[in-house]
Structure 1
Amino acid sequence: MDNLSHSVASLAAGALLHRSLPPESDSQKQGIRHRMMLIACWLAGNFPDLDLVLTPLLPAPLGYLLHHRGHTHTVLYALPQALLLAALLYLLWPAARRLLKQSASARLGLLLSIATGFALHLMMDYLNSYGIHPFYPVDARWLYGDMVFILEPVFWIAFGMTLAWMVRLRALKILLAALLIGVPLYFTTRGFLSWPSFAVLSGMALVLGVVQQRCGERGRGGLLLSFVFALVFVGVQHQASQRSKDMLAAHLRAADPATRVLDMSMSAFPANPLCWAFASVESNEAAGTYALKRGIVSIAPELVPVAACPVALADTAAQQPVATGIALFSQEQGDLKALRRLRSENCHFDAWMRFARVPSVNAEQATDIRFATSPRGNFSTLRFADFANRACLPNVPAWAYPRHDLLTPR
């Protein structure tokens, strides 16, 4: 997820935890504990993304692909990160240190804040199609939620609006609330959000503002409602993702019964459970081929046809309708023997395949077509010429191959 989503979710969690613990003996200690828990949860909710400092361990693009969402995004390596964060807060914040020595409630609050921040980060990163491998080294497989867009305004509104309404300074409160509504409005006018989605977001913001205003400065109602909204949204997205996969799988099997559908990477449209971008992988071992397709699915085509999905993400000019509610952007076919030979002969490609979920390969480069292109190209692209004179690289993590099913004959 984006760091704004991580931040507002963690701050809301820290605020809720603080309000759920017994108060401190005086207002000064209560204020210190409040700030400590907010900061601890916020830092823990963003700490794993410091793995970006590890990307120079490998040349681009491998450094980013293999070290971002790497070791710092595992349950095992969350433990030393949590200890480091707690130690830094204890050593660098004298007022918090004194409070922690005196108050069992503050010590429990710090523990809960840090644990919750790290847990939220891993769970939120799991929700999209990029994936994590949280149980490494016990289980090195990538896990993909395939249910929430990586920049999700529902989280910005659900958590951010409640936090904004808790700010004491009226002018700042109004400014933050306006920004939280203004950013989705901008993306709506640019074609990334639909107007019905923006209307739902605005309604949610209004409800949260009213509830938090009635709860008062120390109330928990607005915060609890924030998490209810977020959980309901994730539940709806999960069901919609499964529906889109069922529709797509049925179409792929009907279109070519000889192929085996291996995977369908689903990318949600922001704040929109009806429209889904997909990248699919099929194999035909007997023919020695595999097929990749990119396209879009609408799970309610009678309500929202694929051509009516937000235009900035729907690529309407490239759409080729193939079934009710399904259109293709592109399709290609590859050679299984060539793919396996390249993997065995090229150690850089072998490393890249520890990340690639939907690998498109030609003579010049390999690209994971899950990711949209930009003027600078797809960030996952490995250009073979850039590695032609390089020895095999150290510091390649032992993540499981997402496409082990393509690399290994049945």
Structure 2
Amino acid sequence: MDNLSHSLVGLAVGELVHRTLPAEADPAHQRTRRRLMLVSCWAASNFPDLDLVLTGLLPQPLGYLLHHRGHTHTLLYEVPQALLLIALLWMLWPGARALLRASKPARAGLLAAVGAGFLLHLGMDALNSYGVHPFYPFDARWFYGDAVFILEPVFWVAGAVPLAMTLGSRVWRGLLLGGLAAVLGYFTMRGYLHWGSLTALLAFGAVLTMLQQRVGKSGKLALCAALLGGVGFVAMQGAAMQRGKTIVADHLRQLDPASTLLDTAMTAFPTNPACWIFVSAERDAVAGTYRLRRGMVSVAPSVLALDACPTALAEGIRPLKAQLVVNWSEEAPLARLRKLQTSNCRFDAWLRFARMPALGPDNASDARFSNTPAGNFTTFPLDQANGQPCPTGVPAWDYPRADLL
């Protein structure tokens, strides 16, 4: 998930933790406690992404693929990260240190805010198709939510609107809310958001604004409604994703009854439960091959046909009323994949990330990421004569496509 979403949701939860605690007797302590809850939950909501400093431990692209969302994104290793963050806050913030010494509610609130922030980060990252392995080292498998786009404006609105409404200055409230609306309008004009999605987001923001105005600056109603709205959105996306996978499976079964569907990776469109990009992996044991397909599917074509999906993310767009279209497919021998794994230690390490391994003549790439603005960041050269030694310190994540190896 993008760090703006992590930050805004973390700030909103920190604000909610502060408002749930009993008030401090000292007004100065009350102000410090609010800042502490906001800062600690915001920091915890972003802290695991400091694993980017570890990407240099392996040659690229392996460093990014295997260390980002790596050990810092596991439940076990969140504990020392949380202790480190609390220690830093204690050492570097004298006002917070004095508050924590004097106030039991502040100490409880700090633990709640930091714990919630770390769990939010892991939970939000688990929602998209990139994947996490939260139970390592007890379970090294990747888990994929496949339900929410990696940049999701619902979380921006849910976090930003209640927080903006707590500001005392109407000018600042207007600037922040107007700026958010302008950003949403910009992404709609650029073809990333559907006009219906923009309408829904503005309506969600308007409801949160009215709720916050009703309860005043100290109320929790808008914050609770924002979080419940976010949870409801995730549940809706999850149901739509499952429907999309069923449609894809039925379609592929008709195309090739002899193949076995192993996996379907789903990528959502922002704030759009109808439009999806899918990448499927099939195996034909008799032919000794596997096939990847990439395409688009609408789970509600009578409401939003494929040619009405936002154009900036749509693939192979054309006047199209079908429910599903396959834009790309590739078939490769299982023997080649297995030989590369056993003969190329760097490729073997790459396979610990690749959920949809597409093999070209000179390189391999994960077909989930073939349509990003910066190109496919997973592309891996297959040249074995470049003198590079086998990488050391490769994380022991399970192979996502162990069923092909």
> With structure 1 as the length reference, what TM-score do the two structures score?
0.97
Q: Percent identity?
A: 53
Task: Say if 1:397 and 1:181 are closer, same or farther in 2 by CA, change over 3 A.
Answer: same
**Is 2:292 the counterpart of 1:292?**
yes
> Which residue is equivalent to 1:21?
21
> Which residue is equivalent to 1:50?
50
- Give the conservation status (yes or no) of the 8 Å contact 1:61–1:382: yes
Unaligned runs of 5+ in 1: none
**Is 2:168 the counterpart of 1:193?**
no
Supply the AA of the counterpart residue of 2:269.
Answer: F
**Is 2:358 the counterpart of 1:360?**
yes
- Give the conservation status (yes or no) of the 8 Å contact 2:344–2:384: no
Q: Distance in 2 between matches of 1:273 and 1:374?
A: 20
The DSSP-based 3-state class of the residue aligned with 1:370 is helix
Residues 361-400 of structure 1: pairs in structure 2 closer than 5 A: 361-374=359-372, 376-385=374-383, 388-400=386-398
Q: Distance in 2 between matches of 1:238 and 1:376?
A: 28
> Which residue is equivalent to 1:349?
347
Q: Distance in 2 between matches of 1:220 and 1:345?
A: 59
- Give the conservation status (yes or no) of the 8 Å contact 1:320–1:329: no
Q: Distance in 1 between matches of 2:175 and 2:324?
A: 41
Q: What's the offset of the Cα at 1:386?
A: 8.3
Q: What's the offset of the Cα at 1:315?
A: 2.2
Q: Distance in 2 between matches of 1:340 and 1:346?
A: 10
Q: Distance in 1 between matches of 2:58 and 2:292?
A: 28
Task: Say if 1:320 and 1:395 are closer, same or farther in 2 by CA, change over 3 A.
Answer: farther
Q: What's the offset of the Cα at 1:375?
A: 6.3
Residues 113-132 of structure 1: pairs in structure 2 closer than 5 A: 113-132=113-132
**Is 2:96 the counterpart of 1:100?**
no
Task: Say if 1:32 and 1:375 are closer, same or farther in 2 by CA, change over 3 A.
Answer: closer
Q: What's the offset of the Cα at 1:213?
A: 1.5
- Give the conservation status (yes or no) of the 8 Å contact 1:153–1:271: yes
Q: What's the offset of the Cα at 1:364?
A: 0.4
Q: Distance in 1 between matches of 2:83 and 2:217?
A: 31
Q: What's the offset of the Cα at 1:324?
A: 4.0
> Which residue is equivalent to 2:214?
214
Q: Distance in 1 between matches of 2:35 and 2:384?
A: 48
Q: Deviations over 1:120-155 (max 9, x none)?
A: 000000000000000000000000000000000011
User: Aligned-residue CA RMSD in angstroms?
Assistant: 1.4
Q: What's the offset of the Cα at 1:376?
A: 4.7
Q: Distance in 2 between matches of 1:297 and 1:363?
A: 29
> Which of 202-211 and 119-128 deviates more?
202-211
Q: Report the count of equivalent residues.
A: 405
- Give the conservation status (yes or no) of the 8 Å contact 1:320–1:327: no
> Which residue is equivalent to 1:158?
158
> Which residue is equivalent to 2:31?
31
> Which of 368-377 and 87-96 deviates more?
368-377
Q: Deviations over 1:77-107 (max 9, x none)?
A: 1001000000000011111111111111010
> Which residue is equivalent to 1:264?
264
**Is 2:330 the counterpart of 1:332?**
yes
- Give the conservation status (yes or no) of the 8 Å contact 1:320–1:328: no
The DSSP-based 3-state class of the residue aligned with 1:268 is strand
- Give the conservation status (yes or no) of the 8 Å contact 1:100–1:107: yes
Supply the AA of the counterpart residue of 1:43.
Answer: A
The DSSP-based 3-state class of the residue aligned with 1:261 is strand
Q: Distance in 2 between matches of 1:320 and 1:286?
A: 37
The DSSP-based 3-state class of the residue aligned with 1:130 is coil
- Runs of 4+ aligned residues of structure 1 deviating over 4 Å after TM superposition are none
The DSSP-based 3-state class of the residue aligned with 1:276 is strand
Supply the AA of the counterpart residue of 1:359.
Answer: P
Unaligned runs of 5+ in 2: none
> Which residue is equivalent to 1:133?
133
Supply the AA of the counterpart residue of 1:362.
Answer: G
Q: Deviations over 1:168-200 (max 9, x none)?
A: 222111111011111111010011111011011
Q: Distance in 2 between matches of 1:375 and 1:76?
A: 34
Q: What's the offset of the Cα at 1:403?
A: 0.3
Supply the AA of the counterpart residue of 2:299.
Answer: I
Supply the AA of the counterpart residue of 1:131.
Answer: G
Q: Distance in 1 between matches of 2:325 and 2:60?
A: 33
Q: What's the offset of the Cα at 1:55?
A: 0.4
The DSSP-based 3-state class of the residue aligned with 1:311 is coil
The DSSP-based 3-state class of the residue aligned with 1:279 is strand
> Which of 210-219 and 287-296 deviates more?
210-219
Task: Say if 1:292 and 1:153 are closer, same or farther in 2 by CA, change over 3 A.
Answer: same
> With structure 2 as the length reference, what TM-score do the two structures score?
0.98
Q: Distance in 2 between matches of 1:309 and 1:373?
A: 16
Supply the AA of the counterpart residue of 1:220.
Answer: K
Q: Distance in 2 between matches of 1:10 and 1:242?
A: 28
Q: Distance in 2 between matches of 1:374 and 1:234?
A: 23
> Which residue is equivalent to 2:244?
244
**Is 2:13 the counterpart of 1:8?**
no
Q: What's the offset of the Cα at 1:160?
A: 1.0
Q: Distance in 2 between matches of 1:145 and 1:316?
A: 25
